[in-house]
Amino acid sequence: LPEAVVEAADLSSQQDSSQVWGFSSQQQPAIFGRPGALVRQPWRIPHEDTYSPDTSLDATDVGGLVVRAVSLRGAAHRYLGEPRQDSFALARHSDDEWLLAAVCDGVGSASRSHRGAMLAATTAVGAAARHLEQSSGDAAEALLAATRESAAAIEQEAERLEESPRNYATTLTLAFVRTEPVEAGFPYVVVAVGDSPSMQLGHAGPVQELRPSGAADLHATATASLPTDLSTISAIEGVLSPGAALILATDGFSVPVLNTEVGTQIADQWRQPPGVPDFLVQAQFAARSFDDDRTVVAVWAGSDDEGMS
Amino acid sequence: MQEQVLPFYLLCDESGSMTGLVEQMNNELLPDLHHSISTDPVVADKTRFSIVGFADDARCILPLSDLSDLESIPGLVARGVTDFGAAFRELRTRIDDDVTSLKSQGHLVYRPAVFFLSDGQPTDPDWRDGLEFVTDEGWSYRPNMIAFGLGDADASVIGEVGTFKAFIVSPNVNPARALTEFASALTKSIVKSGQSSTEEGMTLQVPDSIPGFTAVTADVL
């Protein structure tokens, strides 16, 4: 055994971790304020009929975009041994012309919302990709159609298992981003049911929430959810400037980031795309009482002068 | 660093007729509640608890506190009559001060929940003026009130006080058992609310039925 330890140490010293794609450095999650009791508690795995892991992590470069995505259980679900009710899914065009991302936050009081969130995210990006591949139609139309198909898929699943569709209630935020710039930047479209917000981070300043351009009543959107309440679907269309990031998240991430000093640190850390393990660690910041599941998909628009293309 | 805070208030009758129940509360039920909340890390990290007692007058027995910071919590003292109006006026003052203070520290404060318990009729004739003070829709910190009536309490009065939910003790239920069920409902509500996380943040969770009690519905009003 001592030999094995020596060998492992030698191995690590011979490797420059920054040469491995996605890896640049190692650090511990930041603790904001007084730690609270929950941060010290061990995780418990759920006793579910269908296993779902604590954390889902992904990353890619597609066209001029750099993508980091993570969904992780909050401290409460980790302690209580309950499944993650958040989910995300990604898809890209077969010729890398666009990227799709979905973020879902299962409604806490709905008993199967963890399944609803998972199903909604994967169905939404799959359906949107199909619509976009099959027709050169409007991106917003494709996202709206995919949102409705996602709701229908949940209803079918509920029917199959003889459950109430309301038990699967989840938010859905679905985004389309072009992978190559058109004049000023990278055009994007986001449609959302419920309150998982879209945000933007620029070269300077804080993470800022993007407001729907339509006259959507924000209070009304807060209660909307798939599959039964599609009464309010908000839409945002914009252009991502080179170097800026479009951030889709659930409120477990957005509430502390938009309302507390956590946001200042995240803005500093994510001005440039972090390495994949760093991104995971940074999203795991500990802040007392902010114990909800967290999901964040961040899409940086590359620019030549920053070497991100 | 800012935190999310869900404040709970126990607004408890300390009139002379409560003597036996006050002892049970001090010796058994409040220590149990303290233990349950302070040892549940999910709940301890975001709930705060305060006790206001009322009889001839109203007084704050436990300022709004993080129960995991306390070794023990002070008890109630049975004394005097049942001045509802004084109770509600003190409650409004406490909530105004507490929420203002928490917000000035940058905390995200959720609407307070008040568990009101009385075993009698209000002895002050103008108690409804006090009640309007805490149910005032123009008051942005207006709490959710959950009212419980024991002993001689009147169902319609309890129904008026319980703007969120109201419960009156069922016939032939032993007062000690009813009080135990009340304390259990209070503890469970704090735990379930602290564990809830929805699109709107935390939401107050109170069961629709509580053993030993009958829910007072709007029809009774």
- pLDDT tens digits along A237-277: 999 999 999 999 999 999 999 989 999 999 999 999 999 99
Contact A198, A236 (CB under 8 A): yes
Q: What is the pLDDT of residue A219?
A: 35
Pseudo-torsion of CA A283, A285, A288, A290, nearest 10°? -10
The band of B216, judged by pLDDT with boundaries at 50, 70 and 90, is: very high
Does pLDDT of A306 surpass 60? no
Confidence at residue A218, expressed as pLDDT on a 0 to 100 scale: 34
Looking at CA atoms only, how far is residue A195 from chain B in angstroms?
Answer: 7
Considering only CB atoms, which chain A residues are within 8 Å of B206?
A: none
Average pLDDT over residues A23-47: 83
Contact B2 A171 (CB under 8 A): no
CB count within 10 Å of CB A119 equals 25
Instruction: List CB contacts of A134: < 8 A, sequence separation 6 or more.
Output: none
Contacts of residue A291 in chain B, CB cutoff 8 Å? Answer: 42, 45-46, 197
pLDDT for residue A232: 83
What's the confidence (pLDDT) of residue A27? 74
The alpha-carbon gap from B42 to the nearest alpha carbon of chain A, in Å, equals: 6
Q: Which of A107, A195, A291 sits opposite B42 (nearest CB)?
A: A291
Q: What is the pLDDT of residue A107?
A: 87
Minimum CA–CA partner of B45 in chain A: A289
Interval A79-102 mean pLDDT:
94
- Residue B217 reports pLDDT greater than 90: no
pLDDT value at position A303? Answer: 67
The pLDDT assigned to B99 comes to 96
Question: And the tokens for A177?
Answer: 């981003």
**CA-CA distance, B68 to B72, in Å (whole number)?**
10
- The two tokens of residue B117 are 């318990």
Taking CB atoms and an 8 Å cutoff, what residues of chain B touch A74?
197
Give the helix, strand, coil percentages of chain B, each rounded to 5. 40, 25, 35
Least trusted range by pLDDT, from A279-283, B41-45, B88-92: B41-45
| Cα-to-chain-centroid distance, residue B73 | 15
pLDDT of A12 higher than 70 = no
Distance CA A217, CA A134 (A): 33
Contact A100, A69 (CB under 8 A): no
pLDDT digits (tens, 9 = 90+) for A172-195: 999 999 999 998 899 999 999 988
Provide the residue type at A36 as one letter.
G
Q: What is the ipTM of this complex?
A: 0.81
B138 in contact with A at a CB cutoff of 8 Å?
Answer: no
Task: Report the pLDDT averaged over residues B165-178.
Answer: 94
Report in angstroms the alpha-carbon separations of A55 from A80, A280, A295, B73.
Answer: 16, 9, 9, 40
Where do the DSSP E strands lie in chain A?
31-32, 55-62, 65-72, 86-92, 98-105, 172-178, 186-193, 198-201, 208-209, 234-240, 245-249, 286-287, 294-301
Report yes or no on whether pTM surpasses 0.90. Answer: no
